[in-house]
Amino acid sequence: MISQFFVLSQRGDHIVFRDYRGEVPKGSAEIFFRKVKFWNDDEAEEAPPVFNVDGVNYIHVKVAGLFFVVTTMVNVSPSLLLELLQRIARVTKDYLGVLNEDSLRKNFILVYELLDEVIDFGYPQTTSTEVLKSYIFNEPIMVDAGRLPPLGPAAMFMQGTKRMPGTAVTKSVVATEPGGKKREEIFVDIIERISVTFSSSGYILTSEIDGTIQMKSYLTGNPEIRLALNEDLSIGRTGSSSYDYRSSSGGGAVILDDCNFHESVHLDSFDIDRTLHLIPPDGEFAVMNYRITQEFKPPFRVTALIEEAGPSRAEVLLKIRADFSANVTANTIVVQMPVPSYTMRASFELEAGAIVGGSEHTLRAKLTFSQESHGNLTKEAGPVNMNFTIPMYNTSKLQFSVIQD
Amino acid sequence: MSGHDSKYFSTTKKGEIPELKEELNSQYKDKRKDAVKKVIAAMTVGKDVSSLFTDVVNCMQTENLELKKLVYLYLINYAKSQPDLAILAVNTFVKDSQDPNPLIRALAVRTMGCIRVDKITEYLCDPLQRCLKDDDPYVRKTAAICVAKLYDINAELVEDRGFLEALKDLISDNNPMVVANAVAALAEIQDSSTRPIFEITSHTLSKLLTALNECTEWGQVFILDSLSRYKAADAREAENIVERVTPRLQHANCAVVLSAVKIILLQMELITSTDVVRNLCKKMAPPLVTLLSAEPEIQYVALRNINLIVQKRPTILAHEIKVFFCKYNDPIYVKMEKLEIMIKLASDRNIDQVLLEFKEYATEVDVDFVRKAVRAIGRCAIKLERAAERCISVLLELIKIKVNYVVQEAIIVIKDIFRRYPNTYESIIATLCESLDTLDEPEAKASMIWIIGEYAERIDNADELLESFLETFPEEPALVQLQLLTATVKLFLKKPTEGPQQMIQAAKDVVLAEKPVISDDSNQLDSSLLDDLLANISTLSSVYHKPPEAFVSRVKTAPRADDEEFADTAETGYSESPSQGVDGASPSSSAGTSSNVPVKQPAAPAAPAPMPDLLGDLMGMDNSIVPVDEPTAPSGPPLPVLLPSTTGQGLQISAQLVRRDGQIFYDISFDNGTQTVLDGFMIQFNKNTFGLAAGGALQVSPLQPGTSARTLLPMVAFQNLSPGAPSSLLQVAVKNNQQPVWYFNDKIPMHAFFGEDGKMERTSFLEAWKSLPDDNEFSKEFPSSVVSSIDATVEHLAASNVFFIAKRKNSNKDVLYMSAKIPRGIPFLIELTAAVGVPGVKCAVKTPNKEMVALFFEAMESLLK
């Protein structure tokens, strides 16, 4: 099973290091870091999440710019370890409020206490913040989230966008408020990741939604909650020819291709009234994950145009049209477009601010290159990626209402 | 609230340890707690605070759980280095294990199990016995894991005290968490034993299936993985198991889903009803696809597994090819895997869609991905005859883009397409010839030349084309040279100007003979390996696509439930083999524990074993068993396995270069795990840096099944030198009369070349050192090497012809000066710097021959291991 667990900073410093079985030779963290930093294989330049060096298996994920790593000597389930690493990160975040190098270092004793309960002799025991509460005695030391240095441009490249901090909740689940007052709050969010491919003529080629209903509960006494979803919700596409979109043309019913649920969810009446019953455990968790390929209307239309304007210059024209109703507004919009690697300078004009439904915005940028482009400018620039939040709007039309008895 | 813990890191005053000592003995509880925190902080940053052992242990007697945990954390870390002092803690442990607070009872047992000191282990037994029967489930589940800990330290003790039976009883526990941990512990114990310890009966089966519904996600994985060892009696039972497991597919935890998929796939083998199978396939598809919405790391694992699943059951995902289309922001490792699966799922029905995708990928920026996409088009052409033409037209379109590496890659795959469909698509040769000048990669060149040679009679100016390549013939790599030779001969035979017709006919029969048809390689795993890997779905094995034996060194393979007795494992004969680096890294004996791997051979059926019981027992009890050698064979330490029996169809080859009495030998051993007698062994070495070649014939008598032979083959150097930068690579080919030729790689240890004449006088050493310019000096750190005693190191190195000259002391470090010499009079002047007993040796070397330095460091590092 798991031999060691460690957390490394982006520079390779040990932040947390715990050896559970004492069977991996010394220096494994350094070996891991060197291997990941200088991964060079004939196929890929980025280290896969699972690899083996001299008989030691290294499994890692990147969370909040940190490497969460486990090592093992045996043939175990890597998906278990990957899930566990994500879960450890989440539990730590539940406890510390924010997850970063600073908060881990300040709370190292609490983190070690957590690790001892989460893993015993390399076997995962529990990762439920709720259960852990009764075994953990150290109090978290809060790090002020506001003072944190922003991750900067690096944040855009971080993978795992599915669990974006949709909620601005950076409070510890366990820490008591300074005034001793306990908050009676529950946050429920629908977070959807939309992937749409347009053809050059503007038709949608593929479209997919990966969604999560995320919950973070600060309720005392763990009351039962009912979460009612759309009544006409159906699961599973009919027929084998899956991509004909026939099913969605009418009604407006939400059809999920597949979904799964958190273990605290009881599905007894789900088939009848599409209601989930659960006693939300403390901490942040995904009540339900779902996947939709039925046709939907993407919230934005993005058109990008890049044109040569001289031997070592180009002009970029990015148009964004908001295809949703005018009474909602999208904010925290990040539009990202890679430019050729030999670009020296880019200058902008931008109409900034939030985007109101129905509006259209244009960005013009002038690029200056250090060398002449080779004619395939369009291939070396792009594709455009866009991150946004539209409060009170979701593409899939999945809805819920929370009912507390 | 205790303020910022990080302040504990900032004590930098001089007398830190005495100060801590004082605080640890303070009369105030809070002060003591703060002091222990400081100690732990120092410990985690690697400072040695072991001298505070007694003082910290004194703080153990407390009701404060927070403090107790800290002390325990300290104990786990330092008990091993202070075993005598650790005994001081035993009484508190035993007392704590009877504390009214279940948390303290569990904590005591958990910590004792982590202290790997023999004397403590004896005291652990009684508390463990009690805790296994504790009223509190938290204590019982901790005790269950503790049994596995104890087994790892002292297996005999566990069996004598009946802990295994107690553990089995816990399978029927009413708390699912306890059941899950008991299962995990039993599975681990089973893995390190060859005796059947944990057998699932139909009774335990129903217990486990019940617990499955209630325990945590992690527990579910333990239980599912142990269920996968169970072999259902008949189709009905299999259906029953599958029915109970199927709901797990809806779980949000990917590990649970994959483990469930494994069981369903295994049980499906037994299910005869095609309706049920079809239905199951249908049920598995959506959860498998959903795995691809997880984090990219999990996607990668899922894709590697799906790769195996579609090879066995292509129907499951036959209609889902679209979900494997690459997203532009997928990490490259995910893209590569998706591409593989797209090729596997490509069919006449969806090929147009797939080709459109591939074409798109082939115009992306990432060169490696582009190349792979072009290859993928070629593989589809070879796989789907009816789509070949469309594939070719896509390739031609890509060639027209004139991006150099795309063109070259396209030509390589077109050559394969020509091989697969001879005399069908030559019309495009003219187009290919247009790009002739741009080819600069050997493989592309060779492919183009092959095409010209093969169709020489239809290319009007074939002779001119070939001639243009011949100008640079001497500079070309062997691959291109060989292809040029063949093509020229083909050209001559097809368009003979003059010459004896008879000879030409004879040559034609050979050179232009019909070639065997090549086939689609997208289902490249052979079926027995595939089955082996499918049985390991959701494990590392299924990610690496290698059987567990290939990379796991610590654990002995358990006999499969269907194996008769120990025949399977006993028959192969055990040899100590160091773990093999899976990604091609060099073999090394990395594990701290002694590794003893029975090389399991799934392909070789059981043969009568000489002494199965004895061997089986030895395997179960004793880790230090010696390899089974032929009585006449030269003895010596076990050799590294270079050709595992899984690759060698049962034949295992271990070998190493050694130096004996001034001569170099290849110490080689053959283990015959096949069912037939193997004879007629021959060996050949590829060109290498030192020009090593066999100095005589390989003397191996016919090998009976199940036996092994070891021999010393004399070697000569500077026979077939390879040009280029020095490398330690030694490529070896071995053949016998019964099997195909086996190829494997070995490393040349440079120290085998260190001559007996390498000793230098002090004065000549100094002169030589001074006479060499400074840029001939190189140095390297060996962080893991330890010099435990100067004399022993000197003696050890002298045995390998590294001769001691002088030494001096530099503060707390010793500096040794030594010399060595390799043939052709190349000396190495060596300076070793190390502190005795502290890991880390600095090696500086001066030599006239700079190129050899890298190999030299490699050799020194292995000598100083």
Q: Comparing C-alpha atoms, which of B215, B136, B289, B281 is closest to residue A124?
A: B215
Dihedral sign, Cα of residue B363, residue B365, residue B367, residue B372: negative
**pLDDT, tens digit, 9 for 90 and up, residues B823-836:** 777 888 888 888 88
Residue B711, pLDDT score: 85
A347 touches B at CB < 8 Å: no
Yes or no: say if B788 and B832 are a contact pair by the CB < 8 Å rule: no
Q: What pLDDT was estimated at residue B774? A: 80
- Does an H or E element contain B505, and which? helix B501-511
Distance, CA of A114 to CA of A108 (rounded, Å): 10
Residues 6+ positions from A224 with CB-CB distance below 8 Å: A277, A278, A279, A404, A405
CA distances from B75 to A383, B59, B88, B90, B105 (A): 55, 11, 11, 11, 17
Q: Which residue shows structure tokens 């389930």?
A: A77
Domains in chain A (CATH in brackets) are 2-132 (3.30.450.60), 176-297+395-404 (2.60.40.1170), 300-389 (2.60.40.1170)
Residue B18: is its pLDDT beyond 60? yes
- Check whether A103 has a pLDDT greater than 80: yes
For chain B, the average pLDDT equals 81
SS3 B751: helix
Q: Which of B104, B249, B253, B342 to mutate to test the interface with A (most CBs of A within 10 A)?
A: B253
Alpha helices in B195-253 (DSSP H): 202-212, 217-227, 235-245
Tell me the chain A residues in contact with residue B40 when contact means C-beta distances shorter than 8 Å: 109, 112
> Does residue B208 register a pLDDT over 50?
yes
Has the ipTM of the complex gone over 0.90?
A: no
Residue B698 class from Cβ within 10 Å (0-12 exposed, 13-18 middle, 19+ buried)? Answer: middle
Mean pLDDT of the region B220-227: 92
**Cβ atoms A95, A135 nearer than 8 A:** no
Mean pLDDT, range A90-111, rounded to an integer: 89
Q: Report the mean per-residue pLDDT for chain A.
A: 78
pLDDT of residue B309: 92
- Contact (CB, 8 A) for B60 and B107: no
Helix (H, G, I), strand (E, B) or coil at B292: helix
How much is the average pLDDT of A123-133? 90
Q: Which residues of chain A lie closer than 8 angstroms to B585, CB-CB?
A: 52-54
Q: What is the pLDDT of residue B109?
A: 92
| Cα R_g (chain A), whole angstroms | 24
Give A230-239's long-range contacts (Cβ < 8 A, gap of 24+).
Answer: A230/A254, A230/A274, A230/A397, A230/A398, A230/A399, A231/A273, A231/A274, A233/A274, A233/A398, A235/A259, A236/B286, A237/A293, A237/A294
Give residue B590's pLDDT: 37
SS3 string, A312-352, reads CEEEEEEEEEECCCCCCEEEEEEEECCCCCCEEEEEEEECC
CB of A125 less than 8 A from some CB of B: yes
| CA distance to partner chain A, nearest, from residue B822 (Å) | 29
Contacts of residue B175, defined as CB under 8 A and 6 or more positions apart, other chains included, come to: B137, B140, B141
Which domains occur in chain B, in start order?
5-230 (1.25.10.10), 439-514 (no CATH), 625-748 (2.60.40.1150), 754-863 (3.30.310.10)
Distance, CA of B165 to CA of B148 (rounded, Å): 13
Using a CB–CB cutoff of 8 Å, tell me whether A287 touches chain B.
Answer: no
Q: B113-129, pLDDT tens digit by residue?
A: 888 888 788 888 999 99
pLDDT for B438: 84
My answer on whether omega of the bond before B176 falls inside 30° of 0, hence cis, is: no
Contact flag A137-B585 (C-beta cutoff 8 Å): no
Note the pLDDT of residue B601. 39
Is A335 part of the contact surface with chain B (CB cutoff 8 Å)?
no
Highest mean pLDDT out of B198-202, B396-400, B565-569:
B396-400
pLDDT tens profile B396-419: 999 988 888 899 999 999 999 998
Asked if pLDDT for residue B630 goes beyond 80, the answer is no
Q: How far is CA B152 from CA A18, A305, B226, B598, in A?
A: 19, 64, 19, 18
* Chains A & B: contacts with CB separation below 8 Å: 262
Lowest mean pLDDT among A154-163, B401-410, B681-690, B710-719: A154-163
pTM, entire model: 0.67
In angstroms, the CA B124 to CA B161 distance is: 11
Residue B207 has pLDDT above 60, yes or no: yes
Chain A residues within 8 A of B327 when measuring between CB atoms: 195
Q: Most B CBs within 10 Å: which of A54, A58, A240, A257, as the mutation test of the B interface?
A: A54
Q: Which residue of B has its CA nearest to A77?
A: B539
| Position with higher pLDDT, A147 vs A4 | A4
Measure the CA–CA gap between B318 and B309, rounded to whole angstroms.
11
C-alpha distances out from residue B683 to A170, A307, B212, B639, B713, Å: 67, 63, 55, 17, 10
Assigned token pair, B581: 């680096």
